[in-house]
Amino acid sequence: EAGVVQSPRYKIIEKKQPVAFWCNPISGHNTLYWYLQNLGQGPELLIRYENEEAVDDSQLPKDRFSAERLKGVDSTLKIQPAELGDSAVYLCASSLGVTSNTGELFFGEGSRLTVL
Amino acid sequence: TQLLEQSPQFLSIQEGENLTVYCNSSSVFSSLQWYRQEPGEGPVLLVTVVTGGEVKKLKRLTFQFGDARKDSSLHITAAQPGDTGLYLCAGAGGGTYKYIFGTGTRLKVLA
């Protein structure tokens, strides 16, 4: 079974440019998370979806960040315009949510963003 | 804002030594997880604990959840170079699946 797939793996852009990241969760996983991770630090939650509904987006900087999960499967995270401080790894994770015994989050390999 | 503080932040030890990583919070968690992350990859789950005072063992790793469910520890016996990585605790409260991650502990085990 395929794991969580993210693309692109790496992206280098100039500041003020837009960027988008895509995530395909594990089939059947209703819960999807986007995290931001700076080097050597723990992931910080940006947004959590239950199916197509964003149930927690309190940490998402809504002036420049947006996310969607159409049809409750794939998800995209967009930044417009990007700032230097947005350079980080953007991690997508999925889980079975309420039907999981362990609450395990399955992560993709991440999308590393560099803003110049 | 991180609600889970891990200590130490960095740890470099020789192969065969023992170590303990701590995860502390002022919040109560309904479940707490430990993950390990290697460079260029996403975190991978090691264990989930849900009961205050619970102890779980995974080969040379021992995980403990505090009685008040506010803290946890990870103890590694006879560390090996393959244990090198970033160790992360993650807690969820109120029966939700909103997992907040700790600040991370970077472990390096030297051969």
At B61 the pLDDT is: 97
CB A80 within 8 A of CB A14: no
Alpha-carbon distance B36 to B83, whole Å? 9
Q: Which residues of chain B lie closer than 8 angstroms to A45, CB-CB?
A: 98-101
At A69 the pLDDT is: 95
Between A98, A103, A109, which is nearest B31 by CB?
A103
At A100 the pLDDT is: 64
| Amino acid residing at B103 | T
Mean pLDDT lowest for which of A28-37, A53-62, B36-45, B90-99?
B90-99
The mean per-residue pLDDT over the stretch A84-96 comes to: 96
- For A87, counting Cβ atoms within 10 Å of its Cβ (0-12 exposed, 13-18 middle, 19+ buried), the class is middle
Measured between CB atoms, does A44 come within 8 Å of chain B? yes
Q: For chain B of 111 residues, list the mean pLDDT of each consecutive stretch of 10.
A: 85 97 94 94 94 95 96 97 96 82 96 94
At A37 the pLDDT is: 97
The mean per-residue pLDDT over the stretch A32-53 comes to: 94
At A112 the pLDDT is: 97
Task: Report how far apart, in Å, the C-alpha atoms of A96 and of each of A30, A33, A93, B82, B106 are.
Answer: 6, 12, 11, 29, 29
Q: Which residues of chain B lie closer than 8 angstroms to A4, CB-CB?
A: 42
Task: Report how far apart, in Å, the C-alpha atoms of A10 and of each of A7, A32, A76, A82, B18 are.
Answer: 8, 21, 15, 15, 37
Peptide bond preceding B8 in cis form (omega within 30 of 0)? yes
At A40 the pLDDT is: 87
Alpha-carbon distance B92 to A31, whole Å? 14
Look at A105 and B103 and tell me if their CB atoms are within 8 Å: no
